[in-house]
Amino acid sequence: MWFDEDVIDQWEHDNVEVRAGHPFVNSDLAIETLLMLRELFRLPYRQTEGFGRALVKLMDVDVAIPHHTSLQKRAAKLGITIEVARPESSIDLVVDSTGLKVYGEGEWKVKKHGADGRRTWRKLLLAVDPDTHMIAAQSLTENRVHDGDQVGPLLEQIESDVGTFYGDGACDQWKVHDSLAEQEIEAVIPPRKNAKIKQHGNSNEKPLPRDEAIRDIRLLGRKEWKQDVGYHRRSLAETAMFRMKNTFGGKLNKRSLPNQITETAFRCKILNLFVTLGMPAFLWN
């Protein structure tokens, strides 16, 4: 392992912006590099500092490694871009959510004696490009936040045009459908089982996609409708969740929400780098 020469050249902070207090010594790129190593190897902050010092010593490079407390403070304010390659054309999105534990008992204790009130989780939403398997956007919130409320923030992170949005029943809200329609994004979201048609079929207005989905489900059945619209592409988002939890585990290491947001952004960026290196190839008989 080594630091790239371009990273070494940009290691020191330029301190162009005037700020109160002592000027920064290390650039945001230097902090991001060390924090990415920390996340990749699941290191505590002190070990990350020591790992960086050992690495520059082996490389015989004279750069300052930040103190572990500086790494922790700067992590909350870093703006991490998870995209490693911008698509040239429009993309589709498959969206799903999962929970990441902050602290609490293990699964065995919960099954044996029940859970107490100190179990805390965060909700992670991933928007995955099903063609490239790359994570296009991510959102980490408290577990009380509804999935539908995060559709807008997810789309704001994507600079490319979005063709089709695949979501589960948690995204079946009129505000989500209206937002997607305003942006001319096709919505593939299964209506709830008790869903009602909003606009009468004899209306002179343009048919609503959600109403058309309800009519098709009544005619064909929910299973056949999902096959016709290709809803099962959304399983690729669950595959991305599985890949993330197998690589980094199902627990967050940081305690504050700003630092946890940075932590999950690093995880998404590392997974995207893994995808660019190559995906498994399957041979079917």
pLDDT digits (tens, 9 = 90+) for 62-120: 999 999 999 988 888 888 888 777 777 889 999 999 999 887 666 666 666 676 656 68
Q: Does 99 share its domain with 155? A: yes
107-116: per-residue pLDDT in tens? 666 666 676 6
pTM summary value: 0.84
Q: Does 26 share its domain with 97? A: no
Q: Does 23 share its domain with 100? A: no
Pairwise CA distance, residues 244 & 124, whole Å: 11
pLDDT at 285 over 60: no
Which of 47, 75, 103 finishes a domain? Answer: 75
Q: Does 95 share its domain with 50? A: no
Nearest Cα residue to 244 out of 277, 274, 214: 274
Pairwise CA distance, residues 141 & 152, whole Å: 14
**Residue 268 sits in which domain range?**
91-189+229-277
Which of 75, 106, 127 finishes a domain? Answer: 75
Say if 81 falls within a structural domain: no
Pairwise CA distance, residues 214 & 222, whole Å: 9
Looking only at the bridges linking them, the beta strands covering 91-103 and 120-128 are antiparallel
